[in-house]
């Protein structure tokens, strides 16, 4: 009986690398973000986006997304949007060369405006507002090798709500690289 238990233990040790391939994987994304603040009369903001995700199962994971985009209005001031969201992500074919994914992320947004009044750098007005943020979207990752992927695109519809005001016309797009651990 003792030798059978030892053999079973030995067989379990041998199969550990096989199970490690199917275990949870971590992903880190970093790249460029374009943020459209309103469709018709809005502003175009550029910035950076970073995301971390962990696979819970083969097709389901948890993600956190952080982004910051800004626009400079020629000596008048700067508009800045900072977003932090968290939520589930669904991956359709995580082990394939091309991996489409979708997510619903909830968190917050800080929108700020730093305005130079009368073009005098010493006289500035600063306003900041916090909003509830909901991002619904997805994208496509293209695998380069086991550790590196390229995010071909990520497109999100952003819903912002706060202070009895809702903004539904916010769209963001991102592209960059994904490191797979």
Domains, the chain, with CATH or none: 26-180 (2.40.160.20)
Q: Pick the residue with more confidence: 141 or 78? A: 141
pLDDT at 119: 57
pLDDT at 77: 79
How far apart are the C-alpha atoms of 35 and 81, rounded to whole Å? 9
Cβ(45)–Cβ(37) below 8 Å? yes
pLDDT at 168 over 90: no
How far apart are the C-alpha atoms of 143 and 149, rounded to whole Å? 4
Tokens at 56, concatenated: 């819970």
pLDDT in tens, 21-63: 454 589 999 999 999 987 556 789 999 999 999 999 999 999 9
pLDDT at 11 over 50: no
* Cβ atoms within 10 Å of 74's Cβ, excluding its own: 6
In sequence order, what are the residues at sequence separation of 6 or more whose Cβ sits closer than 8 angstroms to the Cβ of residue 141?
98, 99, 101, 149, 150, 151, 152, 178
pLDDT at 148: 95
Whole-prediction pTM value? Answer: 0.80
Beta strands in the chain (DSSP E): 26-37, 43-55, 60-72, 77-91, 98-116, 124-143, 148-162, 165-180
Tokens at 126, concatenated: 């600063």
Cβ(52)–Cβ(25) below 8 Å? no
Report the range of poorest mean pLDDT among 16-20, 98-102, 161-165: 16-20
Report the range of poorest mean pLDDT among 16-20, 85-89, 122-126: 16-20
């Amino acid at each position: 009986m003792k030798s059978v238990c030892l053999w079973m233990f030995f067989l379990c040790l041998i199969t550990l690398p096989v199970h490690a391939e199917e275990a949870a994987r971590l992903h880190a994304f970093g790249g460029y973000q374009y943020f459209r603040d309103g469709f018709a009369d809005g502003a175009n903001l550029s910035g950076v986006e970073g995301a971390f995700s962990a696979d819970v199962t083969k097709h389901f994971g948890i993600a956190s997304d952080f982004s910051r985009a800004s626009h400079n209005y020629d000596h008048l001031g700067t508009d800045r949007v900072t977003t932090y969201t968290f939520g589930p992500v669904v991956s359709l074919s995580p082990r394939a060369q091309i991996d489409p994914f979708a997510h619903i992320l909830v968190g917050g947004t800080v929108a700020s405006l730093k305005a130079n009044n009368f073009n005098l750098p010493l006289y500035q007005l600063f306003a900041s507002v916090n909003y509830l943020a909901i991002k619904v979207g997805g994208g496509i990752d293209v695998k380069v090798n086991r550790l590196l992927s390229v995010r071909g695109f990520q497109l999100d519809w952003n819903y912002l709500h706060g202070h009895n005001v809702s903004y539904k016309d916010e769209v963001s797009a991102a592209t960059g690289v994904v490191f797979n651990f």
